[in-house]
Structure 1
């Protein structure tokens, strides 16, 4: 089931994002369909669309959190996470 994960990290900017992104390495991220990042109102905002919540959880455990540890950057306690699963897939007709 398609899974959308949105993280807003106040006080974190694109420079820190790029540092973590480089630490992830060049390997493709299994199950990630779309990845968007930007700054909004002083917070780094990351929107990921995944094939499943399991893919997102696996990526976080196996690659993202270790990358945070390697570079010494972590979202602060005020980071906000929103997650949604698609209950029904729709097809546009035209």
Structure 2
């Protein structure tokens, strides 16, 4: 079972997203399966799949929030995160 996070970040654009990505650096993200980013109705939306919630939480605390600070991108108070355990991961379809 994997863990999926959908993050909607009003007021954050692709330029800011890319600054944070540069601050994260090229090192692999432990437990990270995949990531997608796009704009929906003017809002930056990211969808990340993780091997576990613990991996996602560790990444946020140890790498993501420090990268936001270094990139001078505020982690917005209006950011909305929807997260869930993917019950179909690995299921035969």
What's the TM-score, normalizing by structure 1?
0.91
Distance 1:83 1:52 in 2: 11
The runs of 4+ residues in structure 1 deviating greater than 6 Å are none
1:15-63 deviations in Å (ceiling 9; x for gaps): 0000000000110111111100111111110000110000000110110
Q: What runs of 5+ residues in structure 1 fail to find an aligned partner? A: none
Number of residue-to-residue matches in the alignment: 92
The answer to whether the 8 A contact 1:3-1:83 is kept is yes
- What's the Cα RMSD here? 1.2
Match of 1:41 in 2: 41
Distance 2:11 2:62 in 1: 25
What's the TM-score, normalizing by structure 2?
0.92
Match of 1:2 in 2: 2
Q: What runs of 5+ residues in structure 2 fail to find an aligned partner? A: none
Distance 2:39 2:75 in 1: 14
